[in-house]
Structure 1
């Protein structure tokens, strides 16, 4: 299975270098054209694992590879910092949650990067299409992460 996953993710990288893929459905169709059997869950996992982001190209939001190729070794903190540099987002507070709004299709990659950074303060995260919820035990933890996110980016 890992061999198939590696081949499929390599195909995703190639597709994103050669085509404008706007949705996960388009990505699934392109992979099926190449002979891969994929489900929506498979595509969602690949998007998160590869750290795909949505960027503006030719007047449309399309999936793109992160600025640094996955093959380069980077720490989770570096990966998160690079993602935050490239990804427009806004942070709001709601009780003991940080609500992070970003561009459609990028929340899973952002939540994955936040989880991998292994910060001590968040007790959990949930990602939708364009929103990430980070949950905290107390306000002090929430403020530390809010301030850390602000320092990591100019957005």
Structure 2
């Protein structure tokens, strides 16, 4: 089945949606996913689109590499299921201090988690700072620290990642 040839912007929009919905490990897989959506494209075109979109390959929690787009427009909020998938794939550890939550990821993945968290627009998150494999989350209200009674943020993020609290935090 041959699908329509979409313009670059339209095709890249479809690619962005596919990368958010699927763990895409190769350009060939992305060509097949596009075709399943009715969009005909070549591997060379998909390769250029991935460069244009700023897509990078990151290691997932199981060590496999998959394409991800680190920055999406800030007016797109990440629904909980997307946040759960991103955290489940890339967050390996959650720690908390009084006003910070610290997430650890595989190398090269912290910015993907940070972008998803920023788009989620959680009211208790003032902002995030991502390095290579570490993400700092600044808690909005210093009177409600990330640990103790309002450690709900750290607990919620652990739950999204499918992690259990450490002994020190139980």
TM over 0.5: yes
**Alpha-carbon distance between aligned partners in 2 of 1:109 and 1:120, rounded to the nearest angstrom:** 20
Aligned to 1:55: 60
Higher percent of residues as helix: 1
User: Would the alpha carbon gap of residues 91 and 38 (structure 1) be closer, same or farther in structure 2, given more than 3 Å must change?
Assistant: same
Measured against aligned partners, the alpha-carbon deviations of 1:70-90 in whole angstroms (never above 9, x if no partner) come to xxxx95211001112222421
Aligned to 1:16: 26
TM norm structure 1: 0.59
Tell me which structure has the larger Cα radius of gyration.
2
Q: How many residues align?
A: 127
**Alpha-carbon distance between aligned partners in 2 of 1:83 and 1:116, rounded to the nearest angstrom:** 12
Aligned to 2:92: 89
Unaligned runs of 5+ in 2: 1-6, 30-42, 70-76, 164-170
Contact 1:124 1:134 in 2 (8 A): yes
1:128 and 2:131 are equivalent in the alignment: yes
Unaligned runs of 5+ in 1: 20-29, 67-73
Q: What is the root-mean-square deviation in Å for CA atoms of aligned residues? A: 4.0
TM norm structure 2: 0.54
**Alpha-carbon distance between aligned partners in 2 of 1:132 and 1:86, rounded to the nearest angstrom:** 15
SS at match of 1:103: coil
**Alpha-carbon distance between aligned partners in 2 of 1:132 and 1:106, rounded to the nearest angstrom:** 9
1:104 and 2:114 are equivalent in the alignment: no
